[in-house]
């Protein structure tokens, strides 16, 4: 099971790297342009992927959640706001680096 989880994780990391590499070739205008989609820009989609990956790592390293309380959701909301602030204004290259650093931490946890 662990081997399968690592294979899936490695694919996830590879796919994110491919997307970021491609987006780094484009101008800021392209990936920050407003589009009709679930997220307002391609950039916001990449930030979302980073937030979710970081959230899952935090969730798993802390052993999950014992109770879905109002306090838990308030903490979750505040945590997301902090992560969004950390990504604010970052270039696609910087976001790619942040994803890479997070991937190292996540892989270490899985192993």
Q: How far apart are CA 55 and CA 87, in angstroms?
A: 14
Which pTM was predicted? 0.83
Range of the domain at 42: 1-110
pLDDT per position as a tens digit, 34-84 = 999 999 999 999 999 999 999 888 888 887 777 788 888 898 889 889 988
pLDDT given at position 18: 93
The CA–CA distances, whole Å, from 8 to 34, 66, 76, 87, 92 equal: 31, 27, 26, 25, 24
Q: Name the phi and psi angles at 67, rounded to 5.
A: -150, 130
Per-residue confidence band for 105, with pLDDT thresholds at 50, 70 and 90: very high
CA distance 51 to 28: 20
Q: What is the pLDDT of residue 1?
A: 63
Domain count, the chain: 1
**Which residues, 6+ apart, have CB-to-CB distance to 76 below 8 Å?**
55
Find the mean pLDDT for residues 98-111: 89
């Amino acid at each position: 099971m662990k081997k399968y989880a690592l294979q899936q994780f490695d694919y996830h990391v590879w796919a994110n790297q491919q997307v970021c590499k491609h987006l780094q070739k484009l101008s800021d205008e392209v990936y920050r342009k407003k589009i009709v989609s679930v997220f307002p820009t391609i950039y916001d989609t990449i930030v979302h992927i980073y937030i979710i990956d970081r959230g899952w790592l935090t969730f798993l390293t802390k052993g999950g959640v014992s109770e879905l309380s109002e306090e838990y959701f308030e903490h979750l909301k505040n945590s997301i706001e902090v992560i969004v602030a950390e990504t604010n204004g970052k270039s696609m290259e910087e976001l790619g680096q942040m994803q890479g650093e997070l991937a190292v931490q996540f892989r270490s946890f899985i192993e």
